[in-house]
Amino acid sequence: MSTFLFDRIIFGPVSSRRFGRSLGINLLPTTHKVCTFNCIYCECGLTFDEIDKNREWPTRDEVKNKLKLRLENILRNNEPLPDNITFAGNGEPTLHPAFVGIIDDVLELRNQYCPRTRITVLSNATIADNPLIREALMKVDNNVLKLDVGTEELFRMINRPLKATKLEDIIHNLIQFKGQLIIQSMFVRGYINGHIIDNTVVAETTPWLEALLRIKPKEVMVYSIARDTPVDGLKPVPHTQLFRIANMLRMAGLKAEVY
């Protein structure tokens, strides 16, 4: 099925289900996805190989200058200001070698040009065991980190980490944020390579909820696929089911929203 890559560093603003009018920042190369996961639902397509540090990353100065120009244009043209400046794009943004410095630059520009705009980072938290990455993520308004599953088996089938990362490693990283995080959880179902995949079943949502109670996030974003996926056979989960999952979280004392 068709997927797409962002072809520039700064994109949008686009209209986002979760982040309103969202000005995107893509820190990844524009030619291919770079990620530590290979999620079966990733709208940027499949991850084909190991992370290569020599990929063509945009430089820290390039990112800063392009964002500055875009914000100046928005103000000059009297366009509505973005609700969010969102780090998304072609893979995992924290892999950028200058991620920590770029966060400081973006905070500075936001404060200068649009102080009411929120800064959001979407990450899979794989390298959030690095204290510098963790501290950078804790500086932004919306530190949105992924946890889709409750079992190692489904972690390997849905998120498909490229290295020996275990689900418990990710949960451990998420706990280190001491509640300063939002969890995003993608729900999918389908029949892929001879396996039934469904993270909405009780056998998955029960250990997932137990992990969330250890992590104590500010909020859990519950959602399903809305675009093409790189793997055939995947279906969106109906909203009624997503609401049931969100209600389960609320009954356990967690804040949850369906998108």
Interface residue list for ligand SF4 (CB under 6 A): 35, 37-39, 42, 44, 47, 91-92, 124, 146
Under the phi-then-psi rule, with left for phi > 0, alpha for psi from -120 to 50, and beta for the rest, what region is 253?
left
CB nearer to ligand SF4: give 64 or 146.
Answer: 146
The tokens describing 54, both together, are: 């020599």
In sequence order, the 6+-apart residues with CB closer than 8 A to the CB of 243 are 258
24: helix, coil or strand? Answer: strand
Least distance (Å) between residue 134 CB and ligand SF4? 17
Least distance (Å) between residue 41 CB and ligand SF4? 7
The full length of the chain comes to 259
Least distance (Å) between residue 90 CB and ligand SF4? 8
Closest CA to 18 of 151, 139, 95, 118: 118
**Chain position carrying tokens 């519950």:** 222
CB nearer to ligand SF4: give 35 or 182.
Answer: 35
Least distance (Å) between residue 39 CB and ligand SF4? 3
Distance of CA 7 to the CA centre of its chain: 18
CB nearer to ligand SF4: give 30 or 65.
Answer: 30
CB nearer to ligand SF4: give 84 or 159.
Answer: 159
Least distance (Å) between residue 57 CB and ligand SF4? 15
Least distance (Å) between residue 36 CB and ligand SF4? 7
- Tell me the β-bridge partners of 185: 222
In one letter, which amino acid is 145? L
CB nearer to ligand SF4: give 18 or 68.
Answer: 18
Strands (E), the chain: 10-16, 20-26, 84-88, 118-123, 142-146, 182-192, 195-198, 219-224, 234-236, 256-258
CB nearer to ligand SF4: give 117 or 124.
Answer: 124
List phi, psi (to 5°) of 43: -70, -15
